[in-house]
C-alpha cells in the first residue's frame, strides 16, 4: 500500500501517447474559408445598411427629379464612403474600442456631449424615417398607418427588450434583399447607356436649392453618421486585430462598391421609368413604379416587401445602437437585459426614439416621401461633426501608433469633410434665404 | 475636498499673485496605500509642459495653485514609473469598481487634504459629476455625490494600467472568475488581455474558461508563450483543448509543447475529437478505483490524492489496478455512507449509462439531463473509460445561446 498514493494521484489521468499525434491533424482540419467568412462582413453589412427607407426614397427621388444628372456624384461618394468607413474600421481594429468610447476618452465631456447630441438628432431623424418607411410600405398593402405604425413600434420594442430581436432580424434582412431587383429592373427599362456612362464621368454642379437639397440628402443617406459608429463597433465586436486588418479593409471596400452599385441602378431605373415621363415621386406607390419593368403589376408588392423589411430592420437596430453609444460615452448603465430602475437613461433613450419615430410617422397628412428625404438632409448637415471627430482620432499617434492616415488619404478625407460642410452651409443658406441663388 | 475638474486649467500663481502658467494635470504616485498621494503637477506655459513638484506648492484649490518660491524649473515634463496622471489617465476613462462589481466611467476625481498632503480618495461616477463639468458654475450643485472609493478600483482602463495593476495586485482576485470575465469583456481586447495577465495562473485559467471561445484563443495567443502554457495547464483539459483548437496550428503546437507532460498528454488526447461529439465535450479528469478495494481503502485513496479532479462526486470502478475497463460507478454519498469494510463491488452500480466518443453532443447532453446525472462516462468499443461529460458542459449545449449571454451581441 505504501507506494500506492503516487499511483493514485494518477487516478483518472490517462496518458495516451496516441493522442499527441492527433494534434496536427485536428488543427489542420479547420477550414481556412471559415476565417474569411467570419471576418468578411462588417463593411458589407454597414455600407448596405445605407440602402434603407430614407436611402431608397432619396435615390429614387434623385433619379426621378434629376434624371441621370446626379450620377456623377456616385464616384466621389464611393471614395468618400470607403475612406470614412475604412478609417473607423481601422480604429476599431487598432484600439479595440468603439467610436463613442474614444470620443469620450480623448475629447472630454463637453465635446462628447456635443457629438452625442448631433448623433442623437441624426439617428432620431433616421429612426423617424424608418417608421415612415413602415407606414408607406403598409399603406401599399392597404393598411392605414394608424394601425401599422403603433403595432410595429410595440412589436419592435418588445422584441428588442425581450432579447429575441436577433431571431427575426434575418427575416427582415432577407426581405430587404428585394431591392436587388432594381438591378434587373434597370436593365429591363433599357436606359440610354451612352448617356448614362457620359453622366457618370461628367461632373456638373448647380446652385439651385433643390439640387443642393438632393445632393446633401444623397451624401447624408450614403455616409450617415450612425454608419461610422456602427462599423467600428462591429469590427470591435468581431475581435478583428491589426494583424488581420487587411481582410477587413477589403471587406469595407467591396461592401462600399457593392452598396453604391445598387444606388447606381436605383437611380437609373427611376430615371428611365419616371424622369423620362416628367413624373416626380410624392408617394411610395409612385416610387414603386420604377420596378414595373421587372415586376409589372406586382411592382408595388415587391417594393412594399423590400421597404418593410429594410425599415423594420433599422427601426430596431438604430434606437438600440444610439442608446448604446450615448450610454457608453457618458457612462450610463446599459444593456437590454437591465430594467428601468437599473438603466433608466439607456432604456429611456431607446424608448423615446421608437416613440418619437412612431408618433411623427402617424401625423395626419404627413408627406411621407418628403419627410424621408428631410431626415437624410439632417444626417448630411450633422455629418461633418462626426467626420471631424473621426479624423482627429485616427490621426492621433498616441492612439493609432503607425496606423494613422497617410498624407494623400488625409487630403481625401479632409476634402470630404470640407465639401460636405460647405454643401450643408450652402443648403442652410439657400433654405433661409430662398432668393440667394435666384437668377 | 476638491474635485479635479475644479482645478484643471486654473492659474498657477507666484508669490506676488502673478499668473505664471496654468495647471494641466495632477500627478499621483501609486504605492502601498489605498489613497495615493499627489506627487506634483504638470504646468503648461507657452505650449510647453513642465513639472512642478509637490514641495514647491503652498496651496491648491479652486482659485488656483500658489507657488512658494519664484524659481521655476522649466525642463519638459516626463512621466516616471509608478506615476499616474489624473487628467490624462483617469478622467473620462473606465474602471472596475470591485465593490459594485461593475465597469464605470470616471466623471471626476475627488481629492482630499489630510495632514498637509493631498490624497486621491475616490472616482466620481455620478450624473452630477458629469453635470459639474458640463454646466456653467452658477448652475452647479453642491449635493454630495456617488463616489467610488479608490481602494475599490480594481482596474483602470488606461495606458497607465500596468502601473495601477501592479500596485493594486490582488484587488481583482477578490471577485469571482465569472465576474472578472464579464467585467473584462466590457473593455477593449488589449485591456481585457491585460486584466487576465495580471491575475495569478489559477484565477486566470478560471477567468478565461468563462470567456467567449474566440476571446480565450486571442488572449492566450498574444500572451508570452511560457505564461500561456502555464495557464493552459491550470485550465480543465477539455477547455484547454477547445482553446488550442481555435488557435493557428503552429501556435497550438508551440503552446502544447511548452506544457508539462501530464497536462500536455491529457489535452493532446482530447484534440482529435470533433467539437460536436461526446469526445469533444468530455474532460479527462476523473477518478477511477479498482474493484478489489474496500470502501475504506477507497476513501483513504481519495484523501491521499495529490490533485483531485473537479468532478469527484462520481467514482468510476474499473476491472483492476491500471485497467480502464469500466464496470461500475459509485456516488461519493454512497461511498461515505457505506460500511468501510464492504468491497466496492457490493456498493457500486453496474447498470450505468455511458456514451461513445462519436455520439452527437446534443444527444449526450440530453441524456445527462434525462437521467439527472452530474456526469456521464464516455467509453470506447472495448468498454474502456476515456473521459466524462460533466453537467456544466451539458448545460452549455442545452441552453440556447441567448440565455447564457446576458449582454446582447447587438452588432454581430
Would the CB atoms of A331 and B104 count as touching at under 8 Å?
yes
What residue has cell string 467610436?
A: A99
Nearest CA in chain A to B273: A26
Asked whether residue A20 is assigned to any structural domain, the reply reads: no
- Find the angle CA(A412)-CA(A39)-CA(A333) to the nearest 5 degrees: 85
- CB atoms A25 and B272 under 8 Å: yes
Q: What is the band of A111 on the pLDDT scale with cuts at 50, 70, 90?
A: very high
| Listed residue (A184, A77, A332) closest to B107, CA to CA | A332
**For the segment B200-227, what is each residue's pLDDT rounded down to a tens digit?**
899 999 999 888 877 888 899 888 989 9
Structure confidence at residue A115 as a pLDDT band (50, 70, 90): very high
Confidence of residue B400 (pLDDT cuts 50, 70, 90): low
Domains of chain B, residue spans: 1-152, 176-272, 281-398
pLDDT > 70 in chain A, percent: 90
| Cα A285 from Cα A297, distance rounded (Å) | 12
> Is residue A298 in some structural domain?
yes
Q: A376 and A129 in contact (C-beta within 8 Å)?
A: yes
Residue B136: Cβ within 10 Å count: 6
| CB pairs A-B closer than 8 Å | 148
- The model's pLDDT over A172-210, given as tens digits with 9 standing for 90+, comes to 878 888 888 899 999 998 999 999 999 999 888 887 778
Residue A324: which CATH number?
Answer: 1.20.1740.10
Residues of chain A positioned with their CB less than 8 A from the CB of B256: 23
CA nearest to B37, candidates B26, B28, B48: B28
Instruction: Count the alpha carbons within 13 Å of A345 in the hemisphere toward its beta carbon.
Output: 14
Look up the CATH architecture of domain B176-272. Answer: Alpha Horseshoe (1.25)
Nearest CA to B123 out of B101, B98, B104 is that of: B104
CB contact under 8 A, A23 and B268: yes
Interchain pair B284, A13: CB under 8 A: yes
* Domain with residues B1-152, CATH architecture: Roll (2.30)
- Residues A331, B189: C-beta atoms closer than 8 Å: no
| pLDDT class of A88 with cuts at 50, 70, 90 | very high
Q: What is the largest CA-CA distance in chain A?
A: 108
CA–CA distance, A65 with A86 (Å, rounded to integer): 32
Query: For A250-263, how does the pLDDT look when each residue is reduced to its tens digit (9 = 90+)?
Result: 989 998 999 999 99
Q: Which residues of B touch A4 (CB under 8 A)?
A: 301, 304
B402, A163: Cβ pair inside 8 Å? yes
> Is A265 within a domain?
yes
Residue A16: its pLDDT value, please? Answer: 31
Q: Residue A335: what are its φ and ψ, rounded to 5°?
A: 120, 135
User: Is A12 close to B410, i.e. CB distance below 8 A?
Assistant: no
Domain of residue A355 covers 42-432
Chain A stretch 77-96, residues whose beta carbon is closer than 8 A to a beta carbon of chain B: 95-96
Q: Which of A60, A14, A34, A92 is nearest to A263 (CA)?
A: A60
The whole-number pLDDT of residue A73 equals 92
- pLDDT of A1 higher than 60: no
- Calculate mean pLDDT across residues A380-390: 92
Q: Which of B218, B262, B411 sits opposite A234 (nearest CB)?
A: B411
Q: Tell me the C-alpha distance between A19 and B380, whole Å.
A: 14
Strand order in the sheet with B108-114: B2-3, B108-114, B117-124, B147-149
CB of A375 closer than 8 Å to CB of A128:
yes
Is pLDDT larger for residue A7 or for residue A285? A285
- Can you tell me the distance from the alpha carbon of B207 to that of B179, in angstroms, rounded to the nearest whole number? 8
In terms of Cα–Cα distance, which of B147, B170, B123 is closest to B28?
A: B123
A310 touches chain B (CB under 8 A): no
Task: Return the DSSP state at A406.
Answer: P
- What pLDDT, on the 0 to 100 scale, is given for residue A305? 92
How confident is residue A29, by pLDDT bands cut at 50, 70 and 90? very low
* pLDDT above 90: residue B128: no
Q: Is the pLDDT of residue B126 over 90?
A: no
- Please report the sign of the dihedral spanned by the C-alpha atoms of residue B253, residue B255, residue B261, residue B262: negative
Record the pTM.
Answer: 0.80
**A234 CB near a chain B CB, below 8 Å?**
yes
Across the interface, do B408 and A337 touch by the CB < 8 Å criterion? Answer: yes
CA A349 from centroid of its chain's CA atoms: 19
Q: List the one residue out of B222, B274, B239, B285 whose CA is nearest residue B396.
A: B239
Under the banding of pLDDT at 50, 70 and 90, the label for residue B411 is: very low
Which one of A12, A233, A236 has the shortest CB-CB distance to B288?
A: A12
Across the interface, which of A24, A239, A324 has its CB nearest the CB of B249? A24
Say if A203 is an interface residue toward chain B (CB within 8 Å): no
- Residue whose C-alpha is closest to residue A53's, from A367, A408, A375: A375
Binned at pLDDT 50, 70 and 90, residue B68 comes out as: confident
Determine, yes or no, domain membership for A35.
no
Using a CB-CB cut-off of 8 Å, the residues of chain B touching A11 are 287-289, 301, 305
Backbone angles phi, psi at B266, to 5 degrees: -60, -45
Q: A244: which DSSP letter?
A: G
Number of domains in chain A: 1
- Average pLDDT of A267-296? 87
- List CB contacts (< 8 A) between A236 and chain B: 188-189
pLDDT at A392 over 90: yes
Where is pLDDT greater, at B140 or A177?
A177
A92 is a domain residue: yes
What's the rounded mean pLDDT across residues B89-96?
A: 89
Residue A287 reports pLDDT greater than 70: yes
Q: Mark yes or no for CB contact A95/B188 under 8 Å.
A: yes
Which of A10, A27, A106, A313 is the best substitution to test chain B (most B C-beta atoms within 10 A)? A27
Q: Is residue A85 part of a domain?
A: yes
Per-residue model confidence (pLDDT) at position A170:
77
Q: Which residues are CB-neighbours of A209 under 8 A, at least 6 positions away? A: A427, A430, A431, A434, A437
Q: How many CB atoms lie within 10 A of CB B332?
A: 15
Q: At A89, is the pLDDT very low, low, confident or very high (cuts 50, 70, 90)?
A: very high
Grid coordinates representing B299 are: 476513501
- Tell me what pLDDT residue B249 has: 81
What DSSP string runs through A333-370?
A: ---TTS-TTTSHHHHHHHHHHHHHHHHHHTSTT--HHH
> Up-side HSE of residue B115: CA atoms within 13 Å toward CB?
1
pLDDT of residue A84: 94
User: Count of H helices and E strands in chain A?
Assistant: 21, 0
Instruction: Note whether A233 and B411 are within 8 A (CB).
Output: yes
Residue A339 touches chain B, beta carbons under 8 Å? no
**CA B331 – CA B349 distance, rounded (Å):** 9
Say how far apart CA A178 and CA A61 lie, in whole Å.
Answer: 19
Note whether A96 contacts B188, CB cutoff 8 Å: yes
Q: Determine contact, residues B208/B219, Cβ cutoff 8 Å.
A: yes
* Confidence check: pLDDT of A2 > 70: no
Tell which CATH architecture fits domain B281-398.
Answer: Roll (3.10)
Decide if A141 is inside a domain.
Answer: yes
> Quick one: CA torsion of B235, B240, B242, B243, rounded to 10 degrees?
100
Q: What average pLDDT is seen over chain A? A: 84
pLDDT per position as a tens digit, A215-234:
888 998 899 889 999 899 88
Rounded distance between C-alpha atoms, residue A333 and residue A349, angstroms = 12
> What average pLDDT does range B314-321 have in this prediction?
89
Bridge partner list, B44: B22, B49
- Whether the per-residue pLDDT at B79 is higher than 60: the answer is yes
Position B170 pLDDT exceeds 80:
no
How far is the alpha carbon of A359 from chain B, nearest alpha carbon, in Å?
25
Q: Given a cut of 90, is residue A268 above it in pLDDT?
A: yes
The answer as to whether A156 is a domain residue is: yes
A163 touches B at CB < 8 Å? yes
Question: Which three-class secondary structure string do you get for chain B?
Answer: CEEHHHHCCCEEECCCCCEEEEEEEEEEECCCCCCCEEEEEEEEECCEEEEEEHHHEEEEECCEEEECCCCCCCCECCCCCCEEEHHHHHCCCEEEECCCCEEEECCEEEEEEECCEEEEEEEECCHHHHHHHHCCHHHCCCCCCCEEEHHHEEEEECCCHHHHHHHCCCCHHHCCHHHHHHHHCCCCHHHHHHHHHHCCHHHHHHHHHCCCHHHHHHHHHHCCHHHHHHHHHHCCHHHHHHHHHHCCHHHHHHHHHHCCHHHHHHHHHHCCCCCCEHHHHCECCCEEEECCCEHHHHHHHHHHCCCCCCCCCEEEEECCCCCCEEEEEEEHHHHHHCCCCCEHHHHCECCCCCECCCCEHHHHHHHHHHCCCCEEEEECCCCEEEEEEEHHHHHHHHCCHHHHCCCCCCCC
Q: How confident is the model over B36-51, as pLDDT tens digits?
A: 889 889 988 888 888 8
Q: Give the model's pLDDT for residue B247.
A: 85
Q: In this model, does residue A12 exceed pLDDT 80?
A: no
Let me know if A56 is exposed, middle or buried by CB neighbors in 10 A (0-12, 13-18, 19+).
buried
Is the per-residue pLDDT at B158 higher than 80?
A: no
Amino acid at each position: 500500500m505504501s507506494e500506492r498514493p503516487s499511483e493514485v494521484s494518477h487516478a483518472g489521468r490517462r496518458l495516451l501517447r496516441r493522442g499527441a499525434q492527433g494534434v496536427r491533424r485536428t488543427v489542420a482540419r479547420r477550414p481556412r474559408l471559415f476565417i474569411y467568412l467570419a471576418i468578411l462582413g462588417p463593411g458589407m453589412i454597414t455600407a448596405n445598411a445605407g440602402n434603407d427607407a430614407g436611402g431608397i426614397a432619396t435615390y429614387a427621388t434623385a433619379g426621378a427629379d434629376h434624371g441621370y444628372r446626379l450620377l456623377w456624384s456616385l464616384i466621389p461618394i464611393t471614395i468618400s464612403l470607403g475612406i470614412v468607413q475604412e478609417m473607423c474600421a481601422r480604429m476599431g481594429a487598432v484600439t479595440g474600442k468603439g467610436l463613442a468610447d474614444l470620443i469620450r476618452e480623448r475629447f472630454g465631456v463637453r465635446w462628447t456631449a456635443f457629438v452625442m447630441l448631433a448623433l442623437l438628432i441624426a439617428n432620431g431623424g433616421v429612426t423617424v424615417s424608418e417608421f415612415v418607411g413602415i407606414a408607406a410600405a403598409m399603406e401599399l398593402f392597404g393598411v392605414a398607418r394608424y394601425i401599422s405604425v403603433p403595432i410595429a413600434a410595440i412589436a419592435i420594442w418588445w422584441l428588442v427588450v425581450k432579447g429575441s430581436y436577433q431571431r427575426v432580424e434575418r427575416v427582415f434582412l432577407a426581405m430587404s434583399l428585394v431591392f436587388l431587383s432594381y438591378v434587373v429592373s434597370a436593365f429591363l427599362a433599357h436606359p440610354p447607356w451612352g448617356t448614362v456612362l457620359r453622366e457618370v464621368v461628367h461632373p456638373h454642379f448647380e446652385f439651385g436649392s433643390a439640387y443642393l437639397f438632393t445632393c446633401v440628402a444623397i451624401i447624408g443617406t450614403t455616409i450617415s453618421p450612425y454608419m461610422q459608429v456602427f462599423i467600428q463597433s462591429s469590427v470591435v465586436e468581431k475581435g478583428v486585430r491589426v494583424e488581420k486588418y487587411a481582410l477587413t479593409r477589403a471587406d469595407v471596400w467591396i461592401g462600399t462598391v457593392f452598396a453604391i452599385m445598387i444606388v447606381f441602378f436605383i437611380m437609373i431605373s427611376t430615371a428611365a421609368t419616371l424622369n423620362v415621363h416628367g413624373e416626380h415621386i410624392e408617394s411610395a406607390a409612385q416610387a414603386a413604379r420604377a420596378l414595373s419593368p421587372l415586376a409589372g403589376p406586382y411592382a408595388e408588392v415587391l417594393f412594399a416587401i423590400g421597404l418593410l423589411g429594410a425599415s423594420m430592420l433599422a427601426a430596431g437596430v438604430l434606437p438600440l445602437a444610439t442608446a448604446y453609444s450615448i450610454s457608453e460615452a457618458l457612462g450610463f448603465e446599459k444593456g437590454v437585459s437591465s430594467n428601468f430602475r437599473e438603466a433608466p437613461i439607456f432604456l429611456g433613450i431607446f424608448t423615446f426614439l421608437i416613440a418619437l419615430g412612431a408618433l411623427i410617422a402617424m401625423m395626419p397628412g404627413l408627406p411621407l416621401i418628403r419627410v424621408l428625404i428631410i431626415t437624410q438632409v439632417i444626417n448630411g448637415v450633422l455629418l461633418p461633426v462626426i467626420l471631424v471627430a473621426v479624423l482627429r482620432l485616427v490621426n492621433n499617434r498616441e492612439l493609432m501608433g503607425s496606423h494613422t492616415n497617410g498624407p494623400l488619404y488625409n487630403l481625401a478625407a479632409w476634402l470630404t469633410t470640407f465639401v460636405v460642410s460647405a454643401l450643408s452651409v450652402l443648403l442652410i443658406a439657400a433654405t433661409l434665404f430662398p432668393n440667394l441663388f435666384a437668377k | 475636498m476638491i474635485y479635479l475638474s475644479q482645478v484643471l486649467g486654473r492659474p498657477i500663481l507666484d508669490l506676488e499673485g502673478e499668473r505664471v502658467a496654468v495647471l494641466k494635470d495632477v500627478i499621483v504616485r501609486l504605492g502601498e496605500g489605498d489613497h495615493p498621494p499627489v506627487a506634483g503637477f504638470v504646468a503648461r506655459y507657452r505650449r510647453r509642459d513642465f513639472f512642478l513638484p509637490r514641495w514647491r506648492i503652498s496651496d491648491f484649490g479652486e482659485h488656483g495653485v500658489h507657488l512658494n518660491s519664484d524659481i521655476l524649473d522649466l525642463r519638459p515634463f516626463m512621466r516616471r514609473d509608478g506615476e499616474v496622471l489624473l487628467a490624462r489617465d483617469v478622467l473620462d476613462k473606465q474602471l472596475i469598481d470591485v465593490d459594485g462589481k461593475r465597469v464605470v466611467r470616471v466623471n471626476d476625481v475627488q481629492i482630499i487634504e489630510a495632514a498637509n498632503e493631498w490624497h486621491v480618495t475616490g472616482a466620481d461616477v455620478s450624473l452630477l459629476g458629469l453635470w459639474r463639468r458640463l454646466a456653467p458654475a452658477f448652475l452647479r450643485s453642491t449635493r454630495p455625490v456617488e463616489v467610488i472609493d479608490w481602494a475599490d478600483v480594481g482596474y483602470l482602463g488606461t495606458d497607465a494600467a500596468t502601473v495601477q495593476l501592479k500596485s493594486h495586485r490582488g484587488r481583482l482576485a477578490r471577485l469571482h472568475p465569472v465576474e472578472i470575465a464579464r467585467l473584462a469583456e466590457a473593455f477593449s481586447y488589449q485591456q481585457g488581455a491585460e486584466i487576465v495577465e495580471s491575475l495569478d495562473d489559477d484565477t486566470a485559467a478560471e477567468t478565461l474558461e468563462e470567456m467567449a471561445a474566440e476571446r480565450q484563443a486571442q488572449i492566450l495567443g498574444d500572451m508570452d508563450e511560457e505564461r500561456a502554457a502555464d495557464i493552459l495547464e491550470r485550465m480543465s483539459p477539455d477547455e484547454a483543448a477547445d482553446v488550442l483548437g481555435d488557435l493557428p496550428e503552429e501556435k497550438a503546437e508551440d503552446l502544447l509543447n511548452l506544457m508539462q507532460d501530464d497536462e500536455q498528454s491529457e489535452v493532446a488526447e482530447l484534440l482529435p475529437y470533433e467539437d460536436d461529439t461526446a469526445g469533444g465535450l468530455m474532460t479527462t479528469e476523473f477518478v477511477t478505483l479498482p474493484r478489489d478495494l474496500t470502501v475504506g481503502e477507497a476513501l483513504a485513496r481519495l484523501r491521499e490524492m495529490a490533485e483531485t479532479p473537479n468532478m469527484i462526486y462520481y467514482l468510476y470502478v474499473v476491472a483492476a489496478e491500471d485497467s480502464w475497463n469500466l464496470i461500475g460507478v459509485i456516488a461519493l454519498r454512497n461511498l461515505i455512507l457505506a460500511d468501510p469494510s464492504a468491497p466496492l463491488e457490493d456498493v457500486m452500480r453496474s447498470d450505468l449509462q455511458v456514451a461513445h466518443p462519436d455520439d452527437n453532443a446534443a444527444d449526450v447532453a440530453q441524456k445527462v439531463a434525462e437521467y439527472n446525472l452530474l456526469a456521464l462516462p464516455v467509453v470506447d468499443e472495448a468498454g474502456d473509460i476515456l473521459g466524462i461529460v460533466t453537467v456544466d458542459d451539458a448545460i452549455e449545449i442545452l441552453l440556447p445561446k441567448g440565455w447564457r449571454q446576458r449582454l446582447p451581441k447587438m452588432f454581430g
